[in-house]
Amino acid sequence: MTLTDRFTNALLYAIELHSQQRRKASDVPYLAHLLAVASLVMEHGTTEDEVIAALLHDAVEDQGGAATRDEIRRRFGDEVVAIVDGCTDTDLTPKPPWRQRKEAYIERLAHGQSSVRLVSAADKLHNVRSLIDQYHQQGEHLWSHFRGGRDGTLWYYRAVADALRQAGDHKPLVEQLDRTVNELEQLAQGNIEKTA
């Protein structure tokens, strides 16, 4: 895969959109997540469109909805928009109920295009790695930062990993995600058993 000026422009656009955003449960700039996801996609993907979509995978959901989608389409084309849309659980304000959104996302993921599953697997892998790091720092308090709480968050990442595994593509990346979700589940379960 060769990266062109389109990638550079996507990186600059991601910086423009997300420069003031921070990660949940920490003060880490959100751009760190976008770069990590793009890096994973570069390692496992095949197209520049996939890498660009990795940089912009949260742009519609977090930074402007339909207007941002239209701008991504104008700048980067229909394929990038299709991948970003596949990774977006909602562009509505206010957002629908959390569990409903997550169930719909998992259903779309199971039947969506391979490029969407690639970016989603990279996104979720980095999210779970970050959760493990934060769990070591915050313990059970970590779950208070998430709408799904402890049980919902663990359910969601397990369900995503299972859906991606059943789809059958991107096996090395999905296997990493599955192992990392297992680690998070074991950490959470171990802490529950200690306090019981």
22 φ, ψ (degrees, to nearest 5): -120, 160
Tokens 């389409």 locate to 73
Q: Catalytic annotation on 70? A: no
> Which CB contacts under 8 angstroms, 24+ apart, belong to 10-16?
10/51, 10/52, 10/55, 10/56, 10/75, 10/76, 10/80, 11/55, 13/55, 13/56, 13/59, 13/71, 13/72, 13/75, 14/55, 14/56, 14/59
Task: Catalytic residue, from 62, 103, 169, 175: name it.
Answer: 62
Q: Catalytic annotation on 62? A: yes
Rounded to whole angstroms, the Cα distance separating 72 from 68 reads 6
Rounded to whole angstroms, the Cα distance separating 156 from 123 reads 13
Terminus-to-terminus CA distance in the chain, angstroms?
A: 51
Q: Measuring CA to CA, which residue among 184, 80, 114, 113 is closest to residue 142?
A: 184
Tokens 């779309």 locate to 108
Task: Catalytic residue, from 49, 50, 58, 61: name it.
Answer: 61
Residues involved in catalysis? 61-62
